Amino acid sequence: MKLLKLVPDNTNIHFLRWRMPFYIVSVLLMLASYGLLAVNGLNLGVDFVGGQAIRVTFTQDAEAPIPALRDEVDALGYGEPTIQQMGNPNQVSLRMRLPEDDADGGLAAKMTREIVSTIEQAHPGARIDGVESVSGQVSSELFTSGMLALGLAMVGISIYIWLRFEWQFGVGALFALLHDVTLTLGLFSLTQMEFDLNIVAALLTLIGYSLNDNIVVYDRVRENLKKYRRMPLPELLDLSVNETLSRTVVTSLSLLITLLALLLLGPDVIFGFTAAITVGIFVGTYSSIFMATPILIWLGVKPDSFVPTKDSAGDEPDGVTRKA
């Protein structure tokens, strides 16, 4: 049975020894993500920018003829389309912005009919899988509400941890959540995968998972701060992370196996959602160990903030008999 354990008992990994290199790398990745967002932006879906989205499958082609399709649609005079491959090479999502001054939707309907007719004539056998339409005003409101939901969720979680533990823990959790969301958004900006309401839901799910992981580690830190009041803080944090490492690894790996199966075998409609959660769980597990915990040193967490417990003999534990 010992061979089946992912994490051996009584691990003694010195995570905090490498806190500075990991922090430098993480901060650089966050800055790179902000740069990508500023330069490339996000490939916003129709939910957020408004327009017509047409999903097409080229049944007689191994790969969608994207350059030819872009030229054919652009020649209609409605503007250059945004075309993105979906799960399979022969499936694409073609997005067009709504025509201006189209109060009754007549121009949008005409544009869609012409695009669909052009695709069917130029590519016999092509299948139109669906057409979606969202107005620009509704899209703007959806994007604002989605970003507001993300911000309020992060702030609310930090306040909760602040009240449950100490303010340093709330700041540490907020930084870890900001790290996770930023890197996930950076990946979407880099790959230009479509960012829609499903991805906002994935980010909220990621925030909840990261919070759960952080609280598990923080609970153990608080217990050890009460128990080992004379242990140096870096050693105490290492001890806490090592004691929760088995739970963290097993939980994350179990979820990742399921998500990888969905990425490879699941339907295309949830590909972006699954990709966001997969990346989020990976960086969330990383941040709970290398971001949320080491920052407590710089924020000045002290055992004096917690009420000490007594051992069975009535004396305060020595706290230096075991190093992490």
Higher pLDDT among residues 314 and 135, named by residue: 135
Distance CA 295, CA 303 (A): 16
Residue 148: pLDDT band (50, 70, 90) is confident
Q: Which amino acid is at 8?
A: P
**Domains of the chain in sequence order:** 12-41+139-305 (1.20.1640.10), 51-134 (3.30.70.3400)
Residue 138 has pLDDT above 70, yes or no: no
Burial of 317 (0-12, 13-18, 19+ CB in 10 A): middle
Higher pLDDT among residues 137 and 192, named by residue: 192
Residue with tokens 């899988």: 129
Residue 309, pLDDT score:
46
Radius of gyration of the chain (CA): 25
Closest of 230, 228, 227, 248 to residue 293, by C-alpha? 248
Instruction: Using CA atoms of 187, 190, 194, 199 in order, give the dihedral in degrees to the nearest 10.
Output: 20
Residue 7, pLDDT score:
62
Distance CA 320, CA 65 (A): 67
Distance CA 301, CA 82 (A): 50
Least trusted range by pLDDT, from 126-130, 194-198, 233-237: 194-198
Residue 36: pLDDT band (50, 70, 90) is very high
DSSP letter for 54, please. Answer: E
Q: Give the other-Cβ count within 10 Å of 7's Cβ.
A: 14
Tell me the pTM.
Answer: 0.71
3-class SS at 295?
A: helix
* Contact yes or no for 130/94 (Cβ under 8 A): no
Mean pLDDT score of the chain: 79
Residue 304: pLDDT band (50, 70, 90) is low
DSSP letter for 99, please. Answer: P
Residue 306 has pLDDT above 60, yes or no: no
In sequence order, what are the residues at sequence separation of 6 or more whose Cβ sits closer than 8 angstroms to the Cβ of residue 34? 182, 186
